[in-house]
Amino acid sequence: MFRKWAPTIIKYCLKNRTIISPQFNFRLLRKFISSKLLKTPLAIMVEPTCMCNIQCPLCTTPHKYMTRTQGIMEFDTYQKLLDDVKEFALIFYFNFAGEPFLNPHLFQMVKEAAKNDIFTMVDTNATLLTYARIQEILDSKLSILVVNIDYAKKESFEQFRKGANFHATMKGIKELCDLKKKKNGTFPLVVAETIVSRANEIHLNELYDFAMNTIGVDGVWFKPLCFPLHSKGFRENNEVEVLVDKYLPRTSSIKRYTYNEGHLQLDHYKNFCEWEYKSVILWDGRVAACCFDYDGNYTFGNIREASFLDIWNSPKYRYYREKLIKPKKLELCEFCSII
Ligand SMILES: C[S@@+](CC[C@H](N)C(=O)[O-])C[C@H]1O[C@@H](n2cnc3c(N)ncnc32)[C@H](O)[C@@H]1O
Ligand code: SF4
Ligand code: SF4
């Protein structure tokens, strides 16, 4: 995939002087050194909202069982965050427990991050890609837009993305890809994300062809399916055996689990967790532990009341990062499917 994108990225870098501009390099270098010396996080996950307009049955941040107050991040909260982290943050993921496009300021947020040389990524269910939104995307300097294309057929797509309309969603993605090409633009790179499950594992070549050639995306990422068993509500209302029979791929190697004699096992278990050097900012400004803490049960302060670095360096957050998050010892980690 990298080979496919490399010429485009190099072309963009040359066109935008991102490689040859000394000022740009210096700033990036400074950010990198700061992460090494001051141990600042490299990446920040920003939650534009925790609400969603559809109800995917296997959503990793299940709204049905969410007990925290739902809302949309205000621009002031975002601006405060950006001011606090712009000197060291390299990446902003606009994504977490909801549909980012529900935040009306999303692409203003992206634009401000891009002005500060922050690489930006938005994950979307792509159901809200109106013409006006497409124009905003193209003007925002967004680096990567991840759109969900799990199936090429209406019925299966609408079962997996319950509440989405297949034809309208694909039309929106295609319109974005076409307009971007018409403008001769490279960014955002539009990446189709396909979650590999039992129902699509034998159609991956067709899906790749559909996404690349019929819709016109720049790349396809096949993602291993995760069961949201870190959610107590989801665990109590779903039997693992039933989930396995319905969703776990039988033949594909793109999977997280093996199911053996009633036991679900992670295929590539890692002893450490990367959230020791990343951070999540919930829509209300609270700083949370990781992308599995969808209910905000482990939070360390609010960026509306304190500076991000004061929170990051607070004894409580440091203790959690070093003693509980890194070695995967939070209660939540027991059911986490990070590999
Ligand atoms: C919780 S969603 C939030 C962003 C947006 N609403 C979306 O669906 O793209 C974040 C990411 O998790 C992915 N995701 C949702 N359910 C999943 C599952 N069961 N296994 C793996 N990834 C999943 C989504 O496709 C998306 O890329
Ligand atoms: S669109 Fe995203 S946030 Fe919404 S239910 Fe589906 S996976 Fe969850
Ligand atoms: S291993 Fe633990 S800290 Fe890391 S993502 Fe999973 S639940 Fe979060």
By alpha-carbon position, which residue is closest to atom 15 of ligand 1? 59
For the CA of 61, the closest atom of ligand 2 is 8
What tokens were used for 247? 């969703």
How does DSSP assign 256-300, residue by residue?
A: SEEEETTEEEETT--SS-GGGSEEEE-TTSEEES-TT-TT--SEE
What tokens were used for 32? 């990198």
State in Å: Cα 60 to ligand 1 middle.
6
Maximum alpha-carbon separation in the chain = 59
* CATH superfamily of the domain spanning 1-333: Aldolase class I (3.20.20.70)
Number of Cβ within 10 Å of residue 60's Cβ equals: 19
By alpha-carbon position, which residue is closest to atom 6 of ligand 2? 56
Instruction: Find the ligand nearest to 225 CA.
Output: 1
Answer yes or no: is the C-beta of 54 below 6 A from any ligand 2 atom: yes
Kindly give the interhelix angle for 106-115 and 75-85, rounded to the nearest 10 degrees: 20
- CA-to-CA distance for 273 and 251, rounded, in angstroms? 28
Answer yes or no: is the C-beta of 332 below 6 A from any ligand 3 atom: yes
Specify the pLDDT at position 6: 56
Domain ranges of the chain: 1-333
- Provide the 8-state DSSP code for 221: E
Answer yes or no: is the C-beta of 193 below 6 A from any ligand 1 atom: yes
Answer yes or no: is the C-beta of 103 below 6 A from any ligand 1 atom: no
By alpha-carbon position, which residue is closest to atom 7 of ligand 3? 333
Specify the pLDDT at position 185: 84
Specify the pLDDT at position 258: 93
Specify the pLDDT at position 270: 85
For the CA of 294, the closest atom of ligand 1 is 1
Question: What pTM does this model have?
Answer: 0.91
What tokens were used for 73? 């991040």
For the CA of 127, the closest atom of ligand 2 is 1
One pLDDT digit (tens) per residue for the chain, 339 residues = 445 555 555 555 544 444 444 445 566 776 767 665 557 898 999 999 999 999 999 999 999 999 999 999 999 999 999 999 999 999 999 999 999 999 999 999 999 999 999 999 999 999 999 999 999 999 999 999 999 999 999 999 999 999 999 999 999 999 999 999 999 888 999 999 999 999 999 999 999 999 999 999 999 999 999 999 999 999 999 999 999 999 999 999 999 999 998 899 998 888 899 999 899 999 999 999 999 999 999 999 999 999 999 999 999 999 999 999 999 999 999 888 876
The 286-288 sheet, strands edge to edge: 219-224, 189-196, 144-148, 119-124, 91-94, 43-46, 278-281, 286-288, 299-302
Q: Note whether 179 and 134 are within 8 A (CB).
A: yes
Q: Note whether 71 and 51 are within 8 A (CB).
A: yes
